[in-house]
Amino acid sequence: MSASDEVVTLLKSIDGSLKALLAISKTSTPKEVATDSDLDSQYGDPVIKASDPRDWTGPSQKGKRFSQCSSEYLMLVADRLDYFADKAEKEGATTSTGKPVAPYNRRDAARARGWAKRIREGWKAADAGFGESQSAMASEFGAAEPMMADDIPF
């Protein structure tokens, strides 16, 4: 074996080791999950505006809020947002005001994971079946639930 063959073999070995380390680092680094305070904030429950992820086989979720989707769907959304964040970072993509796009995608990916976690843990919407104004009125007057027509005593 010549010296150049040995160098090529050594470089291939180093390349393989680096690829293995990179794969391990990608799988072992946990992705960010949004905190409860972020999810409960003004921007914590975004609306699905893009088309559904390509691996999604269920009904379209476009137009729904994260809190109205399944955890499986939200994990696909999070993966897609992470992909677009990486792509935007590499390309240096910015908003119309000149701010980088990647942090916004990463924040929404974390929110999708946060909502997926909440939903897996059994979270249910506080005002399921009632409008926001009814649930706000109920809490203002101390009622545990808004009254329905059948609950009126006359």
Give exposure, 30-49, as e/b (b: 16+ Cβ within 10 Å): eeebbeeeebeeeebeeebe
Taking the model in full, what pTM does it have? 0.64
3-class secondary structure, 100: strand
Strands, DSSP E only, in the chain?
Answer: none
pLDDT band, residue 149 (cuts 50/70/90): low
Judge contact between 61 and 69, C-beta under 8 A.
Answer: yes
pLDDT band, residue 139 (cuts 50/70/90): very low
> pLDDT, tens digit, for every residue of 8-64?
988 988 988 888 887 777 665 688 999 999 999 999 999 999 999 999 999 999 999
